[in-house]
Every structure is written in C-alpha cells, then in structure tokens.
Amino acid sequence: MSDTTRYLILASSFAVLAISFLIGLWARRKVTSPEAFIGGAKIFGPLTVGLATMAAVGSAFAVVGVPGLVFSSGNAILLFMFAAPAFVFGYLVIGKKVRALSEIGTVASLGDLSDLRFNGHRGIKLLLSIMLFLGCAMYLSAQVEACAKLFENLFDWNAVVIAVVIFAILIAYTVLSGEIGGVLTQAFQGLVIVVAGFIFTASFFFVTGGFGPVLEAIAASESGLDPSALTAWGSLPGAYSFAWILLPTLGIMCQPQVLTRITMMRTPRELPKLSLYAVVTNMITGLMVLSIGYCAIYLAATGTVTIDHPDKAVFKVADYLGIVAQMFVYPAVLAAALSTSSLFLSLAGTIVSRDMPGALGITIEPARQVTVSRIAMSVMGMAAIGFAALSGDMVAILGTYGFGTLAAATFPVFVISLLWKGANGRGVMAGMVTALAATLGGVGVELLKRYGLSDFAWPGSVPWYVFVMAASVVVSIAASLLFRGREADRLDRRVALALDL
Amino acid sequence: MIETLLIIASGLLWILMVTLAGAGHWLAGLYVLLALLLVYAVLGTSHRGRFDLRLVLFPTSVWLLSWAGAFALGDYFARAWGDAVPAFTVFGFHPSFAAIIVLFWIFPTLLMGFGFDSMSDRWLSQKQWDDFLDRINEETRADKGDGEE
C-alpha cells in the first residue's frame, strides 16, 4: 500500500471522528437539563433512532468480528447478523410498555426503569448496575480491539497509543453532550456504515462475480478450506449456531442500546417505523458483512491474499478491493466502534453517577451527576483499553461475551417483569444474584481454560452465557412464584396501566 | 392467571431448550426456541388482560413458521452433502445456506418490518395512547390529592 493511499484512508477515518466531534459540540445546545444529558430527553424521531440503534447494536463486532469468523469458521456467525426480525419482535413485545413507563416518572437510565417497576428496589438496581458495568467493559474492549486492528493494519503504530488517541476524542465529545450527542453521532455513524455497505457490496460483486465463485474457488483450490463452512451451520459445532440464533433473538430486545433509545422516542406510535428503519439498515450491514466474509474466503482460497488473523479479514479485503472501498470500509469500522463505545461510555457514566449511588442510598444533586458521569466515562474508557490489552480475545468473541452478560442482566428486569405483573422484587433479585454469580463463574472458567488451568467443557459445547441467561430467567420466575403476595411488591397503579397497554 | 401460566410455560421451555442443546440436540433446541418466542408474542399482545391473537398470527407466527422452514431445509441440505461440495447452488450459495438467506433473513425481516408497520394502529392506536396518558394524569392528580389531604 502506498503512503498516499495510507494517508487518504487516515484522512477519511479521521473525518468521521471530526464530524462526530462537531455533532457532539453542536448537540450541547440541546442539553437543557442534567436528565437530558444522561438520557431523559424524549425528542427523537424514528429515522434518527433507527440509524443510531442499528449502529450501536451492530458495533465493531459486526463489521470486524463477524467477517473474521465467517472467514475462519464459515456461516454460523452470520445467523447472529441475520436474526434481524428479532429487532421488530422486541419493539412489538415490550416497546410500548417501556416507553409508557417513561411517562410515569423521569426515566434517564435503566436504573430509573427498574425503580419504577420494582418500587425503588435497591438490590435489583445495584445488581443491574454491576452487571451492566461488566457488560460495558467487555463490549468496550471489543471496540478498542477493533480500532487497534484498523490502524495496526495501516501503520506500524502501538495498539495502546492508537486506542488512547481515538478514545480521547470519543470521550471528549461524549462528555460534552451526553446521550443527546450520543444519539445524533450514532445516527451519523449508522449512515456511514450504510453507505459503506452499498459501496462494499458493489465492489464485492465486481471482483468475485457473485457468491457462486466463492464456492467454486473452495472446491477447486488445494487450500484445505472446508466446504462445510458454507452450509447453514458453518464448520463449528452446531451448538454455536444454536447460541448465535438464541442470543440475538432473545437478547436484542433487552440490550441497553435498544431500551435506552425507546425511552428517548417522541411517541411510542413511531416504534413500528423505527423498527422498519432499524431492520432495513441492519440488512444492508448484513449484506456488507456477508460480502466481506465471502470475499476473504475467495481471496484466501485463490491464494490472492494471505490473512493471518481473522480480525484482519475486513482490512485485507478492503486493501485488495482498492482505494474506493478502503476509503469507506475503514471509516465504517471506526464508525461502528465509535457508535457502540459512546453508548456504553454514557451508560457507564450513568451507572456511576445515578444508578449506583441511588442503589446505595446516596443522593447526588442532578448538576453534580453530570460531573461525576464525565469522570466515570473517562475512567471507564481507560479501563476498557487496559482490559482489551490484557484479554487479547477476538473482537467477535468479546462482543458475544458482552452481549450475553447484558442479556442475562436485563432479561428478567425488562422482559419477564414487563410481560408478567407477577414478577416481584425478591424473585427478580434472586434471578439477578444467579446471573451475577453465573457470569463470574462463566468468565472465570473461560480464563482458567485460557491459561491451561482447566479443561472443563460446557455441556454440548454450548457457550456459557446461554446457561447464564437460562438460569437467571428460570430462577426469577420460580422465586417470584415462591415469594408472591407481599404488600411491598404491589404495583403502582400507573405502572400497572403501563404494563396493561 | 393465564399470564402466570404462560410465564411458567416459558420457564419450562427455557429449561427444555437449554437441556436439549446441552445434550447435543441443538437443532431440537432451536425449535423449542420458536415455541418460546410464540409464548412471549402472546404475552406481548396483552391489553388489559386480553390477548390480541390476530397480532400474534400476523406477522409473528408467519415469521416463526418461516424460521422453522429455514432450520429444516438448512439442516437437510447441510446433511445431504456433508463435507463435500454440493451438486447445485441457489443464487450462488450452498443450498443449505440459501435456505437461511431466504427463509431466515430476507423474507422474515421484511415481513416483520413492513408487517408490524401495517399493524401499527392495531398494536397501539392514538386513542389507546391518549387514554393511557389521561389515566396516568388522573392517577397522578389523585395521588397528589391524597397527599394534600
């Protein structure tokens, strides 16, 4: 790659950063209160929120991790990307109830929603905060890894320095405008991903002639690539297909990226339009990811390109396709990483400044919450860089860990309890304790295996987070049935109306 | 009462689904997932204790049937050729994956997106929303009144 090409790509990538920064700066004027900064503004329409949600859910996991796994193990991970109907399902099943709750009291955080549903139950709020914090760390680490891979591929720069520079800019615009700037910058970044999706897919067809030649290349080559990788389930054990369908299908509806955006909509009547925009843009991203993965397989099978690490597949493919593809794909990766990072930084800030103190009975004045939130975002950004440097996992694997942890934490609180008035404080608390203990156990086992200290195998090769989700849901239901009938669990009449909507 | 029975059924389906997958029957686990989604779909349409089964029927049930077809065809064609190159392709894809492309991704995604939009009034009409806001305001005023007394 020539120096001119490198600097053109660098310029296009930093243009995304610069525009995001300017949007954040502009959005400051819309921050009219501390609650609006944290996420309490109900001012957005379906297109903005649809693009923002797609970008934040997609993340670097989709643009870097998924093509990498397609390259290394075939189609199974695409099931995760293609489970887009679950977006719509989530809005259809709990969307209006979540939005209705934000009419009852100030809802600027997920902790506020939990407070409304469980009459200010501090234990649930505390455990929710801890679990969300863990999920944030994992998700942010995946984004850091992706950014590092992007610039490692261009220049021989130190990965930690790259991550510090990008996150410094990200933190700067996130602390300026909070969640309002977050939604607007994420919408812009979503647009970048969609445009890149069109351009990349066209380039893919131009180079390979379509999807058929990929299969032919594998059949004809002596590269040792496995034809079963291109079946529906890929070349990994089938349990991965199971997990990668279950996780998005049940998990998307309770991801913070989805829930927090529902509460920021002007009206719930626009949720069907929002879901339409989210899935259509998600399909374009899915097509891009499919094309990148298949192009990587094709180029490797024909011996055109050597790909030494799955996370580098997207960049190697873009480099092969030429300057036009490069100038859109690299910024798209950055946009995907930034959109998710800004959301999780805001979430971490809100947890530390609002939810965690509230759960511990500490009151922080709204104006001071903003300052505390800004400090927390900065600390969390730095912590994520450290975690990524230590863990060294693939982007896709870190992403699924984060997704699973967040789903286990939020499913009982925001799905079971919104669909069932019988879910009560003690029951959901028991489910949350189970989720936290099981998550720590699951991550612990994975770490022991990484360092060769354990050869434990999960039953049926099913990833650990599936068991965590199941345990938290089943315990929440069973314990709610066991502890039913307490006066303290009686629903506020207005909350009951919201659940009945 | 029906809601409680449905939620108990959902808990049992979770246990069945994960047990099947853990025992190596992951495809059977996927079919159980579809039944679980159906239960949540029914619960999600609950409005003042009544379920809107037409909303469950369309678009959700059509989506779930489409996914069942995708799993069945995807698995059938994956087994048909095992580790070998397939005898034919569909749109250039392995037939097993083509079933996923059409029945798991494109058709149900568009179906759910446009289907939900077409049912938006049934899902939440302007009147329902306005009534909800009025009742919330009444309850809030009543609470304030109680507080003042």
Q: Are A460 and B26 in contact (CB under 8 A)?
A: yes
- Which of A79, A228, A279 has the CB atom closest to B109's CB atom? A279
Residue-by-residue pLDDT tens, chain A, 501 positions? 788 888 898 899 889 888 988 898 888 877 777 777 776 678 899 999 999 998 888 777 888 889 999 998 899 999 999 999 998 999 999 999 999 999 998 888 889 999 999 988 999 999 999 888 888 877 787 777 777 777 777 777 777 787 788 778 878 877 777 788 888 988 998 999 999 999 988 888 888 888 888 878 877 766 567 778 889 999 899 999 999 999 999 988 988 889 988 988 999 999 999 999 999 999 999 999 999 999 998 888 888 888 888 888 988 998 898 888 888 888 888 888 888 888 888 888 888 888 899 889 888 887 788 888 888 888 888 877 777 766 655 556 667 777 788 888 899 999 999 999 999 999 999 999 999 899 889 888 888 887 888 889 999 999 888 999 999 999 999 999 998 877 666 888 999 999 998
Using DSSP, state whether B63 is helix, strand or coil.
Answer: helix
pLDDT of residue B86: 87
CA A501 to chain centre: 28
Name every chain B residue with its beta carbon within 8 A of the beta carbon of A283. Answer: 105-106, 109
The pTM score is 0.92
- Give the separation between CA B14 and CA B5, rounded to whole angstroms: 14
DSSP tag of B48: T
CA distance A78 to chain B (A): 10
Does A239 reach chain B within 8 Å, measured CB to CB?
yes
Sign of CA dihedral A388, A392, A393, A395: positive
Does A421 reach chain B within 8 Å, measured CB to CB?
yes
pLDDT of residue B148: 56
CA distance B139 to chain A (A): 7
Identity of the residue numbered A229: A
- Give the separation between CA A127 and CA A115, rounded to whole angstroms: 13
Contact B128 A501 (CB under 8 A): yes
Name every chain B residue with its beta carbon within 8 A of the beta carbon of A227. Answer: 81, 83-86, 94
Nearest chain A residue (CA) to B78: A231
Supply the ipTM of this predicted assembly: 0.95
Nearest chain A residue (CA) to B102: A82
Stronger pLDDT, B122 or A134, i.e. the higher one: B122
- Which of A75, A218, A242 has the CB atom closest to B26's CB atom? A242
Name every chain B residue with its beta carbon within 8 A of the beta carbon of A239. Answer: 21, 24, 26
DSSP tag of A44: B
- Give the separation between CA A403 and CA A308, rounded to whole angstroms: 26
- B17-35 pLDDT, tens per residue? 999 999 999 999 999 999 9
Contact A78 B100 (CB under 8 A): yes
Contact A239 B26 (CB under 8 A): yes
**Who contacts A73 (Cβ-Cβ below 8 Å, separation ≥6)?**
A229, A234, A235, A236
Q: Which of A54, A66, A78, A89 to mutate to test the interface with B (most CBs of B within 10 A)?
A: A89
Nearest CA among A99, A94, A88 for reference residue A277: A88
Stronger pLDDT, A302 or B42, i.e. the higher one: B42
Contact A82 B105 (CB under 8 A): yes
What does the H/E/C string look like for A466-495?
A: HHHHHHHHHHHHHHHHHCCCCHHHCCCHHH
Does A485 reach chain B within 8 Å, measured CB to CB?
no
- Give the separation between CA B26 and CA B74, rounded to whole angstroms: 14
pLDDT of residue A149: 75
pLDDT of residue A431: 94
- Give the separation between CA A44 and CA A51, rounded to whole angstroms: 11
Contact A275 B113 (CB under 8 A): yes
- Give the separation between CA B108 and CA B67, rounded to whole angstroms: 8
- B71-90 pLDDT, tens per residue? 999 999 999 987 788 888 89
- Give the separation between CA A233 and CA B94, rounded to whole angstroms: 11
pLDDT of residue A397: 66
- With 80 as the cut, is the pLDDT of residue B11 above it? yes
CA B93 to chain centre: 27
- Give the separation between CA A62 and CA B100, rounded to whole angstroms: 18
Which residues, listed in sequence order, are joined to residue B90 by a DSSP beta bridge?
B93
Instruction: Count CB-CB contacts under 10 A for residue B4.
Output: 15
Burial of residue A313, with CB atoms counted within 10 A of its CB: 0-12 exposed, 13-18 middle, 19 or more buried = buried
Query: How many A/B residue pairs have CB atoms within 8 Å?
Result: 232
Q: Which of A54, A204, A242, A481 to mutate to test the interface with B (most CBs of B within 10 A)?
A: A242
Name every chain A residue with its beta carbon within 8 A of the beta carbon of B99. Answer: 232
- Give the separation between CA A42 and CA A60, rounded to whole angstroms: 28
pLDDT of residue A222: 61
Nearest CA among A59, A27, A11, A393 for reference residue A178: A27
Nearest chain A residue (CA) to B88: A212
DSSP tag of A382: H
Burial of residue A164, with CB atoms counted within 10 A of its CB: 0-12 exposed, 13-18 middle, 19 or more buried = middle
Q: Are A310 and A149 in contact (CB under 8 A)?
A: no
Nearest CA among A12, A62, A42 for reference residue A283: A62
Residues 442-471 of A with CB under 8 A from B: 458-460, 462, 466-467, 470
Q: Are A88 and A99 in contact (CB under 8 A)?
A: no
Nearest chain A residue (CA) to B51: A500
Name every chain B residue with its beta carbon within 8 A of the beta carbon of A100. Answer: 132
Tokens 């900064």 map to which residue? A37
Nearest CA among A369, A92, A402 for reference residue B119: A92
Angle B77-B75-A289 (CA atoms, 0-180°, nearest 5)?
Answer: 90
- Give the separation between CA A245 and CA A239, rounded to whole angstroms: 10
Name every chain A residue with its beta carbon within 8 A of the beta carbon of B132. Answer: 100, 103, 497-498, 501
Does A93 reach chain B within 8 Å, measured CB to CB?
yes
- B47-70 pLDDT, tens per residue? 887 899 999 999 999 999 999 999
Nearest chain A residue (CA) to B86: A227
pLDDT of residue A154: 74
